[in-house]
Structure 1
């Protein structure tokens, strides 16, 4: 237990008497300091018991004494010990009144008690408390280690940690999803800290943060990032009613070390699984589903026995970093773990390819996250059997291309064929092609008689029907025939070719958009 003023007041060898502030003796004494200065505040850190004989104090001036005591309180002094029998036979009444007014605990130190005796008592008590904290920390570390090595080690470790702290504890993965919490009721409370986890994620591990009144409670929550690299592997949160003391911090540091080791080992396994997932995806794209099933064994359950969908995501801004893709992969994987669903999440260069069962909750989570992330563009395929994964991948590629062109976050394959093709003509490359194709006709119309561009548009709109197109233009059909021959001569193309008619029609639409 921390040393308090009450402990010193009750110390039989010191013979101290409490003259004021008796209701504040539970204050912790962090150190003891002797000073005869009128204002020793600049030389203090706070939490000290200050000892003085009052030799330089104007003890007869009530105003001076009030100012002195208030300066001590402002400096964080927790108590004042006044030694009698040197400069003063008794503690001055003005000082007693001032200490009672602030209030600040005031202790009378008898002549037979040297200040050094109080200093030794404080020093011994602090050393004893630190030794107790270190010993308790080692004991807790052994207990946490045994828990970590037991079946369900992470959950058992968190349970022992929460019991030691008389609070709660939660472990998050790198994406900020709760992996485990103790006691059981703490999971919901821990989930409310997603915003705090996001802020800590951008700081290289190890890093920590304290949040007062977090998770909608009166708890004081401390967050610790876990990992030894630039990017955290996970996060630990502990919630308590009171600020952690030295002993509790030893326990938390021990838990951080054990969880970091566990996550680093798990990361090695995840790296191996990522390499296997990439190999399985290559087999599926090569049209070898049976080979993929054989290599996967039971690791991916029935994933290759049911319809699947493919999601492809990439940064929509070529200058954006990989963090959004990494976070999407981590959260999709966390959702799959929570739901007990198999999922392939493969980083392919600057892209992320996710393959999961068509009705998988993890796939829905990944699609929702992709749709909400403005820095990514994503395409989602239609359901396909394992043998048709190459086509599903191609569908996702086409949907991704549409998402990039239209500035969308997510486009599903079914949307690609919906609506009009006209919005696709807004692409700058298409516009440039249209302008180049029609330029000879526009140059003719600018210098010669006959509106060839308008005539061509009318003729194509009426599917080559001369009378209807000529009536639309208000000219004779022979005049329209002559103009269409001029179009063929200028362009060097035959209007009998359906491909030519299609290109000209699209060029007219693109240039008028």
Structure 2
């Protein structure tokens, strides 16, 4: 119900005494408040209609009327309905003058119409509107629930909301960035987003995320009569659940995807044939090249991951997503275009560039295309390790030492690594030495003696003596690239054997 609707009601016989603007006459009435005090603002809420007879307001000074209306305009109220005949035969000129200056609609309630009649009419209309709005809101929520149950995308649900309100809608994150919009061709300017970030009116509906993330549903230019907050509240709850859960429910093959990721690092226990069978059970095509994307999930910053997810939805015809250990993994096939930006770059590089545009600080790794199951396993292994070392979107190298180690681990290399390091372990245990720790620090310091000494807090002569002893036990030269590489691979292969390697400095874990 708006002020103009009240004026159009013939039974109330209300008259407008101010040249109010169209926007003020279209202001929605939230409730009506009969009140007869000079400062009613402590008892009023936004857009309430003030009903008053002006009892006790025998005021001759126009400045007092201006102060009265100014307080009401600050609330703001939707209008003032002033009853004549009880305390004032006519509307006070000072009141009319102040309401005109401050653009507050001033309505006269004639003597023949009681306040009770006005109050009852407004109450009945508002209750009818709210009942109709609740009915429509649950119908919209039911439609959104059907889409969610069918596994539809988040944009499908957003489209349902947009069609219901009949205007463009978007979801923005806490930073004011758009992560989804309907229709796809709509444009949201900086002014739109800035207004949505500061407004507390009904065009902005917060999504109850239940965590550190903040998302809002923004409506632009709705023509609907009911309050949008009432219409959209149930749907907003469904959208909040989708935003949090749909990151890992793009596919109905969650158990199979989880099993696939669990098998990746078990090179000795899971053979190639078993891994291939698990891969096929996910519903992906083993004959199609597969792209691997890994991104870190950070509480309070789901918006960045969502923007990456939406980029992937547009770029690939097949997309399987799951979450493991706070990392979101996406397996993508059937790209819509091999060169979507027309730059001549490989698809992975083009996607990384888009990621850096929409989420520059999101830790994400792209790997691919992987043309075989073996390549895919190596790609998943490398992406899972690299994603915790980057601070933004990157493309993994075609070949890394992590991939080499992973491939070697399935061919008895771990046993060979343990045998190579066994003399060093035995010497340390017998002599309470620090040879293995020294070897780890030396390799982690790029085989630079000065850096190694600073890391271990030892003299250079002590380091030289330990290195000579290591060469004797390992039967390798540590001043050659081949000897250094063999030792580095042996230590990293044994990284997953906590019973084999004692605790050492950060370099001994070889996460660097």
TM-score, length-scaled by structure 2? 0.57
Residues in 2 aligned to 1:123 and 1:179: alpha-carbon distance in whole angstroms = 40
Would you say the 8 A contact 1:333–1:345 is kept in 2? no
Aligned partner of 1:15 in structure 2 is 13
Q: CA deviation at 1:180?
A: 7.1
Contact 1:425 1:431 in 2 (8 A): no
Does residue 241 in structure 1 map to residue 226 in structure 2? no
Given the alignment of the two structures, is residue 294 of structure 1 paired with residue 294 of structure 2, yes or no?
A: no
Match of 1:102 in 2: 102
Aligned to 2:420: none
- Alpha-carbon contact 2:169-2:220 (below 8 Å) kept: no
> What are the residue-to-residue correspondences of 1:175-214 with 2, within 5 Å?
182-186=182-186, 189=187, 210-211=196-197
**Aligned equivalent of 1:79:** 79
SS in 2 for 1:297: helix
Q: Which residue of 1 aligns with 2:507?
A: none
Deviation of 1:98 after TM superposition, in Å, equals 3.7
- Measured in 1, the distance between the counterparts of 2:327 and 2:151 equals 37
The 2-side partners of 1:75 and 1:361 are apart by 55
What's the CA shift for 1:183?
Answer: 2.7
Question: After superposition, what is the alpha-carbon deviation per residue over 1:92-139, rounded to whole angstroms, capped at 9, x for unaligned?
Answer: 334333433434333333333222222222222222221222233244
Q: CA deviation at 1:64?
A: 3.2
Classify 1:133/1:170 alpha carbon distance in 2 versus 1 (closer, same or farther; 3 Å).
Answer: same
Match of 1:99, SS?
A: helix
The whole-number CA distance in structure 1 between the counterparts of 2:50 and 2:285 is: 73
Determine helix, strand or coil for the equivalent of 1:13: helix
- 1:340 match: 316
Displacement of 1:272 in angstroms is 1.8
Superposed, 1:82-481 pairs within 5 Å as 82-144=82-144, 157-169=157-169, 182-186=182-186, 189=187, 210-211=196-197, 222=204, 224-225=206-207, 230=211, 237-242=217-222, 246-259=226-239, 264=245, 267=249, 269=252, 271-282=254-265, 288-297=271-280, 299=282, 301-303=284-286, 337-340=313-316, 361=347, 365=351, 386-387=373-374, 412=397, 424-426=446-448, 430-431=452-453, 438-439=460-461
SS in 2 for 1:424: coil
C-alpha spacing 1:28/1:15, structure 2 compared with 1 (3 Å):
same
Q: Residues 475-512 of structure 1: CA distance to partner in whole angstroms, max 9, x if unpaired?
A: xxxxxxxxxxxx9xx99x99xx9948769xx9xxxxxx
1:113 counterpart SS class: coil
Cα deviation for residue 277 of structure 1 reads 2.0
CA distance in 1, matches of 2:138, 2:293: 49
Query: Any gaps of 5 or more consecutive residues in structure 2?
Result: 339-345, 402-442, 485-512
From the superposition, tell whether residues 36 and 136 of structure 1 become closer, same or farther in structure 2 (CA, over 3 Å): same
Distance 1:276 1:171, change over 3 A: farther
8 Å Cα contact 1:284-1:389 kept in structure 2: no
What displacement does 1:342 show? 7.2
Q: What is the CA-CA distance between 1:43 and the residue it aligns to?
A: 2.8
Counterparts of 2:18 and 2:299 in 1: how far apart (Å)? 60
Distance verdict in 2 for CA 1:34–1:279, change over 3 Å: closer
Q: Distance in 2 between matches of 1:131 and 1:98?
A: 37
Structure 2 Cα separation of the partners of residues 67 and 305 of structure 1: 75
Q: Match of 2:39, SS?
A: coil
Secondary structure of 1:108's aligned partner:
strand
Q: 1:325 to 1:412 in 2, by over 3 A?
A: farther
Contact between 1:381 and 1:412, CA under 8 Å: does it hold in 2?
no
Shift of 1:73: 2.8
Distance 1:346 1:135 in 2: 36
Residue in structure 2 matched with residue 205 of structure 1 by the alignment: none
C-alpha distance in 2 between matches for 1:500 and 1:69 = 88
How far apart, in 1, do the equivalents of 2:59 and 2:293 lie? Answer: 81
TM-superposed deviation, 1:170: 5.4
Q: For the residues of structure 1 that align with 2:67 and 2:172, how far apart are their CA atoms?
A: 52
Secondary structure at the aligned position of 1:38 is classed as coil
Task: Give the total of aligned pairs.
Answer: 419
Distance 1:170 1:114, change over 3 A: closer
Q: Does the CA contact (< 8 Å) of 1:141 and 1:251 recur in 2? A: no
Distance 1:262 1:377, change over 3 A: closer
Kept in 2: contact 1:344–1:356 (CA 8 A):
yes
Distance 2:460 2:316 in 1: 59
Deviation at 1:275, TM superposition (A): 1.5
User: C-alpha separation between the residues in 1 aligned to 2:225 and 2:449?
Assistant: 64
Deviations 1:26-60 (A, max 9, x none): 43333333333233333322423333333422433
Instruction: Indicate the residue corresponding to 2:42 in structure 1.
Output: 42
CA distance in 1, matches of 2:141, 2:447: 66
CA contact (8 A) 1:277 1:344 kept: no
Structure whose CA Rg is larger: 1
Residues 69, 211 of structure 1: alpha-carbon distance in 2 compared, 3 angstrom cutoff: closer
What 5-or-longer segments of structure 1 have no aligned partner? 197-208, 214-218, 315-320, 443-486, 507-513
Q: Is the 8 A contact 2:14 2:109 kept in 1?
A: yes
The 1-side partners of 2:242 and 2:399 are apart by 43
Query: Per the alignment, do residues 66 and 361 of structure 1 end up closer, same or farther by CA in structure 2, a change over 3 Å counting?
Result: same
Q: Pick which of 149-158 and 42-51 moved more.
A: 149-158
